[in-house]
C-alpha cells in the first residue's frame, strides 16, 4: 500500500491511502500528483484539495497531449495557468519552457529561466540561459553568459561538459571544442575529454584531429577498440573522413608496429573503403603478432568472400597454406580456397574469358583434390567430395569422373547430408546423358526417402521437369501444383513459374506444338546442346512470332549466346527483348543484363545509359535498386 506523508499538502491534512492497484498510466502520473501536492500549499479541506489536485492533473495531462501532438499554442495557456499557481513545480517549469521554445518565444523562456537562476547561480542554469540567448539572436550576450558559467567552477570537469553539451546541441562545434580545450588547460589534464573532443572534431569535419584523439585514447585503453569503431561508424557509413583517418592510422602504425588495436582499426577502415588488398596486409600482420596460426587470416578470407573480393580472399587462404601448413585451420582454408575459386569463376562466367574461367576452375579442382588427399578423416571430407563432383559436372562436363566421385561419396558416407545431395547430383547426370528414365528413378527414390525436406521438394520439381521435357503437360501441372502448395519450399517459386508457363503457353493447336518445342529447348539448354537449342528457338520464333512464348524464347536465346561466350550476339539478343516486347516481364531483366555486359566489357558510358533506361521505363522493377547501386559506382568512377 502506498502512503503519502501527512504533510504532503498541508501541515494539518492527511491524505487517504492510494489504491493497491495502480495502472501503468497511474504510475506515470504519480510523481506529478506528488509534485502538485507538495507545492500547492495549505488548502481548505481534504475534499477540496482532492478536487484541486485532480483538476491540476487533468490540465497537465491535456497540455502534455498538445505538446506531443506538436500543438504548443494549445498547451501554452494551460501550462501558464499551472505554473502561475505552482511556480516551484519543476515539471510545470520544464513544460512551459518547452512550449515557449516551440513557439520561438525566447524572451518569455529567458524570463522563466531568469526567475529560477537564483543566488548563487548554477552552471547548468547559466548554460541554459546562454542557450536561449543564442536562439534569440543575442550571440554576444550568450558568449558572456557561457563565460560566466565556466568561471563559476573552473576546477570541475563537469563545468566544461555542461557548457560543451549546450554548445554541441546548438551545433556550435568549434566553440564547444574551444571550451573543452580550455578545460584541459585549466584542469592541467592534457588527456581529459578525449572521446568528447574526438566526436566534436568529427562533427566539425576535422577528421585528422578526431583520429588523433582516438589514437591517444586507444593508447590508454586498447580494450575500448569496439567503442571507437562504433563512434566512427556513422561517419564511415556516410563516407566521411575515411581517407584522412587512414592517413593518421598508417603513420601511427609505422610508429607503433606492435600495437594490435591500431592495426585492427586500420584494417577495418580499409575494408570500409573497399580496399581489401590493404586490409589483407594488416590482418596478416595481426595474425602474426597474436600468433593466431592463420585464424585471423581465415576469418578475413571469409569476409572478403562475402564482399565478392575473391582475389584477395584466395590470397589469404594461400598465405595460411604457406605460413601455417600444420595449423588446425589449414585444412578448412584449403577447402575454402576451392570454394572461392569456383565462385570466382562462376561469377565471371558472364563477363570474363573462357580462359580465365578455366584457370580458376582448375585451381578449384586442385584445391579440392589436395584437401581430399591430405585430410581423409576430416569432417568436411564428404562435403569436399560433393564439391568436386559438382565441379566435374558443371565446369568440366566430365560426367564419368563426376559419377565416380559421387558414387564414392554415396557408398562410403551414406549417412551424411552430402550423400543425399550426391544422390540428387547423380540424377542430374542422368538428365545430362539423356537417360530420362534413369533420372526419373533416382529422383523418385530421393523424393520418397530424403531426410531433407528441401531436397525432397527439389527432387519433386525435377520429376515435374522430366514430365515437361517429354511433353506430359498434365502430369507436369499436377506435380507443380503439389509443390507450390508449400510456399516455404525453396523451389516453390520455380514450381509456380512452371505452372504459370503451362497456363499461358498451351495451344494454339491440340498438340501444343510451340510449347513442346520450347520444352525440348529447355532440355537442350540444360544438356549444353546450345546449337540444337538455338536452332529450335529460331524455328519456334519463325513459325509462331506472336505466341505468348516469344518473349521468353528471345530472352533464353540471349542467355544461350552468353553461355557460349558470344557477348556480341548476347547483347543484340538482350536488346531485342524490350524493343519487341516492352511489356514483357523479361524486358527489364534484359536491360539489366545488357547493362551488366556493357559494364564488364569496358563500356561504362553505354552501361550508364542502359541502367538509366531501365529506371526510366521500368521504375517499379525489382532490379531498380541494383541498377541505382551500379549507377552510383559507375558515376563515382567516372568522376
State yes or no: cis peptide before 236, omega within 30 of 0: no
C-alpha span between 220 and 432 (Å, rounded):
65
pLDDT for position 509 = 77
Q: Please tell me whether residue 10 adopts helix, strand or coil conformation.
A: strand
pLDDT for position 486 = 80
Give residue limits of the domains in the chain: 513-637
pLDDT for position 23 = 40
Q: Please tell me whether residue 604 adopts helix, strand or coil conformation.
A: helix
pLDDT for position 116 = 84
pLDDT for position 484 = 84
Are the CB atoms for 468 and 440 separated by under 8 Å?
Answer: no
CB burial string 312-328: b at 16+ within 10 A, e below:
bbbbbbbbbbeebeebe
pLDDT for position 485 = 82
DSSP state of 156: -
Low-confidence ranges of the chain (pLDDT < 70): 1-52, 349-355, 639
Provide DSSP, 98-155: HHHHHTT-HHHHHHHHHHHH-SS--HHHHHHHHHHHHHHT-HHHHHHHHHHHHHHSTT
Out of 2.10.10.90, 1.25.40.10, 3.40.190.10, 3.90.550.10, the CATH code matching 513-637 is 1.25.40.10
pLDDT for position 49 = 54
Residues 6+ apart with CB under 8 A from 134: 142, 170, 172
pLDDT for position 507 = 78
pLDDT for position 12 = 35
Residues 6+ apart with CB under 8 A from 449: none
Cell 531498380 sits at which residue?
624
3-state helix, strand, coil in the chain (%, to 5): 75, 0, 25
pLDDT for position 4 = 33
Cell of 627: 541498377
Query: pTM of the predicted model, to two decimals?
Result: 0.75
pLDDT for position 52 = 66
Q: Report the length, in residues, of the chain.
A: 639
Amino acid at each position: 500500500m502506498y502512503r503519502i506523508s501527512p504533510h504532503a499538502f498541508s501541515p494539518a491534512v492527511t491524505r487517504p491511502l492510494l489504491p493497491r492497484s495502480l495502472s501503468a498510466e497511474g504510475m506515470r502520473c504519480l510523481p506529478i500528483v506528488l509534485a502538485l501536492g507538495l507545492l500547492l500549499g495549505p488548502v481548505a479541506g481534504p475534499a477540496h484539495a482532492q478536487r484541486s489536485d485532480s483538476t491540476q492533473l487533468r490540465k497537465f495531462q491535456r497540455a502534455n497531449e498538445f505538446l506531443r501532438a506538436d500543438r504548443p499554442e494549445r498547451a501554452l495557456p494551460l501550462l501558464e495557468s499551472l505554473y502561475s499557481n505552482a511556480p516551484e513545480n519543476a515539471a510545470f517549469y520544464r513544460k512551459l519552457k518547452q512550449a515557449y521554445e516551440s513557439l520561438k518565444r525566447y524572451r518569455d523562456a529567458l524570463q522563466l529561466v531568469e526567475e529560477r537562476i537564483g543566488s548563487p547561480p548554477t552552471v547548468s542554469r547559466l548554460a541554459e540561459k546562454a542557450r536561449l540567448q543564442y536562439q534569440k539572436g543575442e550571440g554576444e550576450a550568450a558568449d558572456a553568459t557561457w563565460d560566466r558559467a565556466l568561471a563559476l567552477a573552473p576546477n570541475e570537469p563537469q563545468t566544461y561538459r555542461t557548457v560543451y553539451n549546450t554548445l554541441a546541441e546548438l551545433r556550435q562545434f568549434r566553440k564547444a571544442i574551444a571550451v573543452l580545450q580550455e578545460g584541459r588547460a585549466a584542469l592541467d589534464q592534457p588527456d581529459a575529454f578525449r572521446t568528447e573532443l574526438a566526436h566534436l572534431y568529427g562533427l566539425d569535419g576535422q577528421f585528422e584531429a578526431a583520429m588523433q584523439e582516438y589514437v591517444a585514447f586507444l593508447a590508454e585503453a586498447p580494450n575500448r577498440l569496439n567503442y571507437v569503431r562504433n563512434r566512427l561508424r556513422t561517419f564511415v557509413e556516410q563516407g566521411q573522413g575515411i581517407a584522412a583517418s587512414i592517413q593518421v592510422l598508417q603513420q601511427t602504425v609505422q610508429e607503433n608496429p606492435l600495437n594490435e588495436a591500431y592495426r585492427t582499426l586500420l584494417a577495418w577502415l580499409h575494408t570500409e573503403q573497399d580496399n581489401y588488398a590493404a586490409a589483407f596486409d594488416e590482418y596478416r600482420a595481426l595474425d602474426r603478432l597474436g600468433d593466431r596460426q592463420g585464424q585471423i587470416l581465415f576469418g578475413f578470407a571469409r569476409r572478403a568472400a562475402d564482399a565478392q573480393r575473391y582475389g584477395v580472399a584466395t590470397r589469404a587462404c594461400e598465405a595460411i597454406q604457406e605460413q601455417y601448413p600444420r595449423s588446425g585451420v589449414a585444412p578448412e582454408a584449403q577447402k575454402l580456397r576451392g570454394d572461392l575459386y569456383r565462385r570466382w569463376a562462376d561469377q565471371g562466367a558472364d563477363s570474363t574469358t573462357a580462359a580465365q574461367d578455366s584457370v580458376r576452375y582448375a585451381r578449384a579442382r586442385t584445391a579440392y583434390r589436395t584437401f581430399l588427399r591430405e585430410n581423409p578423416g576430416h569432417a568436411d571430407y564428404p562435403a569436399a567430395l560433393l564439391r568436386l563432383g559438382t565441379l566435374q559436372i558443371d565446369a568440366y562436363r566430365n560426367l564419368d569422373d563426376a559419377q565416380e566421385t559421387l558414387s564414392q561419396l554415396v557408398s562410403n558416407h551414406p549417412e551424411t547430408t552430402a550423400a543425399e545431395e550426391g544422390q540428387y547430383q547423380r540424377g542430374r547426370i542422368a538428365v545430362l546423358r539423356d537417360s530420362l528414365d534413369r533420372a526419373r528413378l533416382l529422383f523418385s527414390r530421393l523424393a520418397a526417402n530424403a531426410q531433407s525436406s528441401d531436397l525432397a521438394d527439389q527432387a519433386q520439381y525435377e520429376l515435374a521437369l522430366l514430365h515437361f521435357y517429354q511433353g506430359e503437360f498434365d502430369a507436369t501441372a499436377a506435380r507443380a501444383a503439389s509443390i507450390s502448395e508449400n510456399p516455404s519450399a525453396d523451389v516453390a517459386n520455380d514450381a509456380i513459374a512452371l505452372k504459370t508457363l503451362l497456363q499461358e503457353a498451351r495451344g494454339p493447336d491440340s498438340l501444343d506444338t510451340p510449347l513442346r518445342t520450347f520444352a525440348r529447348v529447355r532440355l537442350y539448354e540444360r544438356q549444353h546442346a546450345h546449337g540444337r537449342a538455338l536452332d529450335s528457338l529460331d524455328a519456334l520464333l519463325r513459325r509462331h512470332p506472336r505466341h505468348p512464348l516469344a518473349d521468353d524464347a528471345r530472352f533464353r536465346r540471349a542467355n544461350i549466346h552468353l553461355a557460349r561466350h558470344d557477348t556480341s550476339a548476347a547483347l543484340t539478343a538482350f536488346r531485342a527483348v524490350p524493343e519487341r516486347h516492352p511489356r514483357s516481364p523479361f524486358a527489364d531483366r534484359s536491360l539489366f543484363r545488357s547493362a551488366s555486359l556493357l559494364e564488364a566489357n569496358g563500356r561504362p558510358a553505354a552501361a550508364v545509359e542502359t541502367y538509366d533506361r531501365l529506371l526510366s521505363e521500368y521504375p517499379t522493377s525489382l532490379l531498380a535498386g541494383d541498377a541505382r547501386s551500379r549507377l552510383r559506382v559507375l558515376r563515382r568512377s567516372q568522376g
